Every structure is written in C-alpha cells, then in structure tokens.
Amino acid sequence: MAKWHQLTSAAVLNELRTDAASGLTESEAEFRLNQYGHNELAGTGTKSSWQILWEQLKALMVMILIVAATVSALLGDYKDAVAIGAIVVLNALLGFSQEYRAEKAIAALKKLAIPSVKVRRGGHVKEISASHLVPGDIVLLEAGNLLPADCRLLQSADLQTHEATLTGESEPIRKITLTIEAADVALGDRRNMAFLGTFITAGRGEGVVTETGMRTELGRIASLIQTVAPESTPLQRRLDHLGKILALAALALVLLIFALGLIRGEELKLLFLTAVSIGVAAVPEGLPAVVSIALTLGAQRMLRRNVLIRKLPAVETLGSITVICSDKTGTLTENRMTATILKTAERTLDVADHLQKNGTEKVEVVGQPDVALLVAGGALCNDAFLSSEEDSGSSMPIGDPTETALVAVATHFGLMKTDLERALERVAEIPFTSERKRMTTIHRLPSDLERIPAGLATALRGCRSAYVAFTKGAVDSLLAISTSVWVDGKLEFLSQTKLDQLADSNNALAKSGMRVLGIGFRCLDLLEDLSDSANERDLTFVGMVGMIDPPRPAVASAVARCKAAGIRPIVITGDHPLTAQYVAREVGIAGECPVLLGTALEHCSEAEIEGLVESTTIYARVSPEHKLKIVRALQNRGQIVAMTGDGVNDAPALRKADIGVAMGARGTDVAKETADMVLLDDNFATIVAAVEEGRVIYDNVRKFVRYILATNSGEIWLMLAAPFLGMPLPLLPLQILWMNLVTDGLPAVALGVEPAEEDTMRRPPRPPSESLFSRGLGAYVLWVGLLIAVLSLGTGYWYWRHSDSHWQTMLFTTLTLSQMAHVLAVRSENQSLFHIGILSNRALLAAVILTVLLQLALIYAPALQVLFRTAALSFRDLVLSIAISSVVFWAVEVEKWYCRHKAAGSI
C-alpha cells in the first residue's frame, strides 16, 4: 500500500472510512478503541504490583537478612530463622504498601497530564483525552497544541510545526495538504503529515489521525525514549550519598563489634547475627525511598490544592523558591473582562452608566457612527463568539475574555457579531501575537452598504474599496502604525498633539487599572501580501475600549504570605505599565514603584539586566523573549525562580526557570508540557500554596532524617559502649531487627504526613544547596543519640549490676519507649508538642500507640517472650521504664524552648 503522504486527502479519508465534515461516530470510535487500544506509548506507564514487591525483596538489606535467617536455620536455630523471616515479611509489606500508594499517585498524576484534543465526532466538535484518539478521528489543530498522534493534514492555514524531537530539525516546518508522490521521503519532508511528539508553533489546521500509540513514528523509536532514567532530586542524591557513607561506617562498626566480641569470647553464631543486626541499624536503608514516597504523596496532596506536578523534583525545589514571577491577566486578576469605557475622538461613553440608564435593552447607535465603528471593529477583529444555550435561551460568551468583552459591548449597542460577520465576510486574518500585541482581520465590503447596520454603514461609506481591515491591540502598538484618526466621520492627520492626547487618554484609563484596547481600520483594494508588515500600517485610529478585570480575591492574602515567607513576588505582563502598576498596588505586590518596560531590556547587556532585576518588581509590555532574559538575570543573581507562562513562546522561559508554571485553563499544551507544574485554576494564590506544600514536605523529610538517625545512632552507641562496661551484648539480634524494621518504621512513616507548622511561611526560603545536616541537625543527632543510649544502657546496667534477670527486657523496653518519646518531640523543630497539639497528627499518635502495644505484647505474651527472650516486667519496673524514656521527650522540648527564646532574644 502507498504510504499516507502519497495519498490524496480524499483517498486517506476513504481508506480510514471517515468523513472530514462529521468525523467518526461515537460507536465507531469506541469500536476502533477496542480494536487499536489506547493512544499511548507502551512501557512509559508505572510499575506493576509484582515489580514493586520484587524491588522490596531484592534490597540489599533484605538479602543480608535472608542470608542471616538461612545461616540461623543451618545452625539449627529455627526459631530465630522464622522470626527473622517474619520481620523481613512485615518490613517488606510496610514498604510495599507505601510504594504502592506512591505508584498509584504517580499513575493518577500521569493520567491527568495527558493533553486533551479537539476532535470532530458525530458532527460535533468535542474535547477528548488524547489517549482516546483512534485512526480516522478528525482533529482540530492550533498554535500551542502538541500533536496527539500521526495525522495526514486536511487543512492548513499557515500551519507550522516544530519537529526537533523527531527529526532534529530546529526550524519550524510549514505544512501543506498536497499529495507528495515519492514513497521514500524523509519524515521531515513529509510536509502533508504531522507527527506525534511534535508541536504546532503557528497557524491552524485539521488532520485525520492515521496512526496512534506505538504504531506512530515516535512509537517506533519509543524504546529509545523509555530508557531515559527518571531524574532524581538533589535531596535524593544527597541521601543516597549519606546512605553510602553510613554503609561504610556500618561495615567498620560491624567489624569492630565482631572483633570486640571475639576478644571477649562471645559465641560465634550470636556474634554473626548481632553484627548483621547492627549493620541493619546503622544503614538507614529506607531513606531514599522515604523521600520519593514523601515527594509523590506530596504531589498528590498538591493536586487537592489545584497544582498538578509534572516533574517530581519540582516538589522539592518549590521549598527553595525566592522569587515568583507572575503574569497579571488571569493569575493576579480574574480574567473576567468587562468593557466599561468607550473613547473616540468625539466622545467618551461610560458603558456602565449607559447600561444603568438603558438596562439590558439593546441600544441603537445610529446617531453615533464613531461608536458604531469602534464596537463593530472590536467585534469583527475577534475570534470569540456568543453561543446560544438551547435550554435557557440565553447566550454564553466563548473565547478569550478580552475578546468576549468586545463582543458583549457590541451586542449591547445592537451590533450582533453574527450579523456583522454575515455582512462583512472575513477573508483573511493576521493572528494576535504577544510580540506585536495586536491582530488584524480583513473583510469584504458588500457592494450594497445598506446591508450593514445603519450606524456602521454611515461610518464605512467613505471607504469605497473592496475590503476593510480592522486592527485591534494595545493602544501604543496601534498608534505606532496609525497615520490618521477618525474624527467626525472623516480621516484627520494624526498630528503630534493628537498623538499626545490619545496617549494621555490611554494612560488615564490604564492608571485606573483598565486594560485598554485600541481599534483602527484601513481600506484596501487588493488582497495580495498577507504579512503583518504589509497590512498593519497607515491605520486610521478609531478609538479605545477600557475594560476592567478585578483582582482575584485570594491574591492579596497570598501576596502577603509570600512576602512573609521571604519570597519576592514580581509582575511580568504584556499589558500597559500603568495597568500593571494599578493591579500590583491593589494586590499588595508593590506601592508606587517604577515599572520597567520590556523594550528597555532589549538594549541592555547581561550585566546591566542583572543590575535592573535586583530592584524591579513590575515589568510591563513584555514579550516572551524578555521573560527569558529576566529569568536568566535573576538566576545569575542567585535567585531561585518560579515563572508563569501560557503561550508557545513562553516555553524557553518556563524551561529555564527553576519552576516553570503553566496555566491549566489558559495555557497551551506546549507550555504545560514544558512546565514543572500546572496551576489548574490559573491562580497566583495556588503557587503560594504549592510553595507551602513544598516546604512542608522538605521539613517532614528532615524530621524523618532527624528521628531515624538519632534513634539508630542511640542503638549503635549502646551496642558499642556495653562491652566497655563489662556487660554482655545488651540487645539480641532479633530485638535490634524488630526495633529497626517494625517499631521505628511505623512512626517514621507517619512523620511524613505532619501538617504545616505555624512558621512554615514565616521563615526565609531554604538555600537549595543547604546540607541536610545544616541548622544543627548533626549536633542534634549526636546528643539525642547519646542521651537515648545513656538512658537505656544506664537502666540496663543498673539492673544488670543488681543481678536482675530482667535487665535486658528493661533495657530493650526503655530503648523502644525512648524512641516513641523522641518521635513525639521531633514533630516540630522548634514548637512544643503542646503548642502544635498532640492530636494534630493522628496517624503518628496511632503509630506510637500501636508500637507501645506491640512492645507490651513482646514483654507479656508468653510465645513472644520465648522468641524475643523477654520477661514480664513488674508494674513498678514498667512505670520506671516509661518515666526514664520520657526524659528524651522533655530534653528535646527544653532544647526547643531554649532555641525559641534565644531566637526571640529573651535569653
């Protein structure tokens, strides 16, 4: 069979049994989905349950324990062998359940990250998940879309794609719909096809899906992509490193204890098992796993706060953010535009006032041709529309809010967009770009102007040409290409005085926080060159529309939290400097501070920009390339930057930022694909919420590390010191394993869900290079470890000296209970447990209670007594053990009290 690119569009549609105008029916699409499977690349999914279980079992520590159990069994000690086996199984189950939850969370996140696609099905345009596409589907494509599958193109309005992932070609490829005869054409030259893995940089088009999933061109080379190892985070790398050091230390320790034991003439089998158990105690095997679980579950929690994490390391980086660069429209404001002021050379109309006087009644603008021209131009040079709701009879604006506001205001003045378009058919367009800050549409003028609504006809009568082009955009960008202005139904030369007047009006509106759009027109006789430079010139400026867009209610408090957390919020907008200044002031980002224009960055050297970014809080009239310069300069100044973006051209800045933030509702697929996280509600407050979660997650990992290292080091000190006191081995191998793998594990996992502390957002960001042992963690591990060892060993020693047969149970119990006392105190690095509330982490409380009950079972249940060589403690001894262990809690609380008061300067 000929290849897809060799067939005509009709032949492709025929071959795929589909119809370009109505697409597949839903039932046919469902049938094909069953036949071809989901449109996904195989192998990029998540791990299966068996894989997770296998990974748990093949961990080095588990292997060593299995060897230990086997050795015990060979030496005839079946009880020990079974007990070690049971502990290994318990530990693996605990690890498995955690990993499993984390994997489920990742799978859910991945699913959410699949882009949606506009398809034609059953005669309607629908949005579906890209994974549900089947061959034969008709897809609608526009700038910013990722290609969801391989397609043969049916329509191309200047459609251009970026295909570097597939072909290495870095320049955009202009697409065509014509048939390409030759069979062996390189992928990059099959210009009537568009491929999965590429994206659309400009234009619009339609295509029919030819291949999905692994049958696509990308699918064929997918095995190459799948081999890319998942990126580990700096914290994970640091913990891996720490793990290696501790493993070496453990080896040395094991050898030392072995040697000491041999000298003292301990039994060889006991020594072997003790050495293995201490090795287990010394190596915090679970650390890297805990981090990945904490990050994943954190990402899941963030989803509940409307943040979709796309790259896991972002969760960690969020905690270090020092600057948030946010755009204005839709992020700080609601993106609910309402046109309130219309301004032409002749009059200023307060639309709100007008509405109040006239209610929702439509008003004819017969006597006001300038207003008619202004609002008609705004509605025609416009891609939004009003869709009528069949049930309610009302109409809903669809499209960009700036544009829907213009359609709405035209409707109010009796000019319906559908009527206007019928009378003045659109024949060409030059789409909006944020670099030019304007767009143009060209319309055919009817020979009979009577067909045009009256007010507008009066205005257009002077045109006497075949076409009229309307341009709308930022007033400054429009004035720059205007040569005349529309006054009293005539063109008047745009003198410098007039220009200054218009700029002043624009500034006055912008100063009150309005987005101001200018509208101009030009009469054309011929339609030749459709480039922007040929058409966007010599305009007649008609007037401007001022729109209000209220700030989002939650933003002001989020800005305050952000500042309290030592994070600088910065506004980077394409809008007018005065509008930007107004909004920044309203939400509390900046008072009367200067605004830097994007163009000012164009002539600066890197060093100059670095100087500017230090003191600038508001950037206006910025285009995407300026954003990249700002991010780079901020980073060179040592800042950790979060940057928002939504367009195709924002991708480089999003990629460069430490955290690229894309908008879920407004953002293009390309921006979302590049970003580290996506805001599902486009809200600035959500970025701040994500930063808070990021900080909490890091704090919790640190608490976990504090707890595990201090506790484990306590056990090691104790084992090391005992021989010097002349004591026999203070803990039996099974007891050590039990503590490390079961009783330590439960509370430690519960530390991962510790809620945010009061000061989480009141302290400065953590430097990303900060060592895990900074802020006194090393010293803490040392002194708490020693305290735990002294208390437990001291108790054991005293009982041993008084030849009490229960000395080992006393020591073992005191050690376990001190760990429980410690975990309660470690919940906050500086707040007292009584302040944060004992019930504020119920999972941890439950884990502590369960562990204490297990310990009591070990002491009092006869079967366990035999296995763990314990003896029932008297009530007096048990109370004493509890009292001694609680010293750890009080000691840590006193240290926190001291640090709190020292920080406050009251000591």
CB 650 within 8 A of CB 627: yes
Site for ligand ATP contains 328 (CB under 6 A)? yes
Q: How far is the CB of 716 from ligand ATP (least distance, A)?
A: 56
CB 745 within 8 A of CB 286: yes
Count CB atoms within 10 A of the CB of residue 791: 25
Site for ligand ATP contains 574 (CB under 6 A)? yes
Per annotation, catalytic residue among 150, 327, 658, 669: 327
Query: What is the footprint of ligand ATP within residues 700-759 (CB under 6 A)?
Result: none
CB 442 within 8 A of CB 427: yes
Instruction: For residue 189, give every residue at least 6 positions away whose Cβ sits within 8 Å of its Cβ, in sequence order, or none.
Output: 180
Query: What is the footprint of ligand ATP within residues 447-486 (CB under 6 A)?
Result: 472-474
Site for ligand ATP contains 7 (CB under 6 A)? no
Q: How far is the CB of 394 from ligand ATP (least distance, A)?
A: 24
Which residue, 337 or 716, has its beta carbon nearer to ligand ATP?
337
Which residue, 13 or 558, has its beta carbon nearer to ligand ATP?
558
- Is residue 290 helix, strand or coil? helix
Instruction: Tell me the C-alpha distance between 142 and 204, whole Å.
Output: 4
Helices (H) and strands (E) in the chain, counts: 36, 26
Which residue, 169 or 400, has its beta carbon nearer to ligand ATP?
400
Site for ligand ATP contains 385 (CB under 6 A)? no
Fill in the amino acid letter for 900.
R
Q: Which stretch binds ligand ATP (CB under 6 A): 46-54, 270-278, 572-580, 649-657?
A: 572-580
Helix (H) or strand (E) holding 315: helix 313-318
Site for ligand ATP contains 327 (CB under 6 A)? yes
The only residue of 13, 408, 517, 641 in contact with ligand ATP, by rule CB under 6 A: 517
Which residue, 327 or 893, has its beta carbon nearer to ligand ATP?
327
Q: Which two tokens stand for residue 338?
A: 């309402």
Q: How far is the CB of 531 from ligand ATP (least distance, A)?
A: 17
**Which of 56-84 are b and which e, b meaning 16 or more Cβ less than 10 Å from the residue's Cβ?**
beebebbeebeebbebbbeeebeebbebb
Q: Which two tokens stand for residue 719?
A: 């084992």
Site for ligand ATP contains 693 (CB under 6 A)? no
Site for ligand ATP contains 313 (CB under 6 A)? no
Fill in the amino acid letter for 209.
V
Site for ligand ATP contains 626 (CB under 6 A)? no
The only residue of 402, 581, 674, 795 in contact with ligand ATP, by rule CB under 6 A: 402
The only residue of 36, 413, 432, 541 in contact with ligand ATP, by rule CB under 6 A: 432
Which residue, 344 or 404, has its beta carbon nearer to ligand ATP?
404
CB 478 within 8 A of CB 381: no
CB 616 within 8 A of CB 325: no
CB 22 within 8 A of CB 120: yes
Q: How far is the CB of 609 from ligand ATP (least distance, A)?
A: 19
**Ordered alpha helix ranges (H), 347-472:** 351-358, 369-380, 401-412, 417-423, 454-460
Query: What is the footprint of ligand ATP within residues 115-174 (CB under 6 A)?
Result: none
Which residue, 212 or 402, has its beta carbon nearer to ligand ATP?
402
Place of tokens 């109040």: 356
Which residue, 434 or 465, has its beta carbon nearer to ligand ATP?
434
- What mask of x and - would describe binding to ligand ATP in positions 497 to 516, judged by CB under 6 A? ------------------x-
Q: Which stretch binds ligand ATP (CB under 6 A): 59-67, 328-336, 493-501, 590-598?
A: 328-336
Instruction: For residue 113, give every residue at least 6 positions away whose Cβ sits within 8 Å of its Cβ, in sequence order, or none.
Output: 308, 310, 672, 678
The only residue of 32, 132, 417, 438 in contact with ligand ATP, by rule CB under 6 A: 438
Q: How far is the CB of 297 from ligand ATP (least distance, A)?
A: 33
Count CB atoms within 10 A of the CB of residue 388: 11
How does DSSP classify residue 250?
A: H
Instruction: For residue 425, give every residue at least 6 positions away whose Cβ sits within 8 Å of its Cβ, in sequence order, or none.
Output: 443, 444
Site for ligand ATP contains 683 (CB under 6 A)? no
Which residue, 517 or 701, has its beta carbon nearer to ligand ATP?
517
Nearest of 492, 476, 481, 491 to residue 536 by alpha carbon: 481
Which residue, 432 or 807, has its beta carbon nearer to ligand ATP?
432
Site for ligand ATP contains 543 (CB under 6 A)? no
Which residue, 250 or 379, has its beta carbon nearer to ligand ATP?
379
Which residue, 519 or 739, has its beta carbon nearer to ligand ATP?
519
Q: Which stretch binds ligand ATP (CB under 6 A): 92-100, 149-157, 433-441, 780-788?
A: 433-441
The only residue of 575, 658, 693, 877 in contact with ligand ATP, by rule CB under 6 A: 575
Instruction: For residue 188, give every residue at least 6 positions away whose Cβ sits within 8 Å of its Cβ, in sequence order, or none.
Output: 163, 166, 167, 169, 173
Q: In Å, how far are 291, 744, 803, 817, 884 from 878, measured between CA atoms?
A: 36, 20, 18, 10, 10
Q: How far is the CB of 626 from ligand ATP (least distance, A)?
A: 11
Q: How many CA atoms lie within 13 A of 689 on its CB side?
A: 23
- The footprint of ligand ATP on this chain (CB under 6 A) covers a number of residues equal to 20
Is residue 899 exposed (0-12), middle (13-18) or buried (19+ Cβ within 10 Å)? middle
Which residue, 313 or 473, has its beta carbon nearer to ligand ATP?
473
Site for ligand ATP contains 625 (CB under 6 A)? no
Q: How far is the CB of 662 from ligand ATP (least distance, A)?
A: 13
Q: How far is the CB of 371 from ligand ATP (least distance, A)?
A: 19
Q: Name the residue with the smallest CB distance to ligand ATP.
A: 574
Count CB atoms within 10 A of the CB of residue 762: 11
Q: How far is the CB of 328 from ligand ATP (least distance, A)?
A: 3
Q: How far is the CB of 886 from ligand ATP (least distance, A)?
A: 56
Q: Is 327 one of the annotated active-site residues of the chain? A: yes
CB 311 within 8 A of CB 676: yes
Instruction: Tell me the C-alpha distance between 371 and 58, whole Å.
Output: 76
Cα dihedral 628/629/632/634 (nearest 10): -110
Helix (H) or strand (E) holding 860: helix 842-860
The only residue of 403, 549, 744, 754 in contact with ligand ATP, by rule CB under 6 A: 403
**Ordered alpha helix ranges (H), 597-650:** 598-602, 606-615, 624-636
Q: Which stretch binds ligand ATP (CB under 6 A): 322-330, 340-348, 354-362, 797-805?
A: 322-330
Instruction: Tell me the C-alpha distance between 279 and 247, whole Å.
Output: 8
Backbone angles phi, psi at 430, to 5 degrees: -120, 105
Which residue, 619 or 780, has its beta carbon nearer to ligand ATP?
619
Please work out, in degrees rounded to the nearest 5, the angle formed at the alpha carbon of residue 88 by the alpha carbons of 82 and 92. Answer: 145
Site for ligand ATP contains 552 (CB under 6 A)? no
Helix (H) or strand (E) holding 385: strand 385-388
Q: Which two tokens stand for residue 408?
A: 């709405």
Q: How far is the CB of 326 from ligand ATP (least distance, A)?
A: 8
Q: How far is the CB of 515 from ligand ATP (least distance, A)?
A: 6
Q: Which stretch binds ligand ATP (CB under 6 A): 321-329, 387-395, 731-739, 894-902?
A: 321-329
Q: Which stretch binds ligand ATP (CB under 6 A): 287-295, 324-332, 528-536, 584-592?
A: 324-332
Q: How far is the CB of 472 from ligand ATP (least distance, A)?
A: 5
Instruction: Tell me the C-alpha distance between 305 and 620, whole Å.
Output: 29
> Which residues of the shown chain bind ligand ATP in the complex (CB under 6 A)?
327-330, 400, 402-403, 432, 434, 437-439, 472-474, 515, 517, 573-575
Catalytic residues: 327
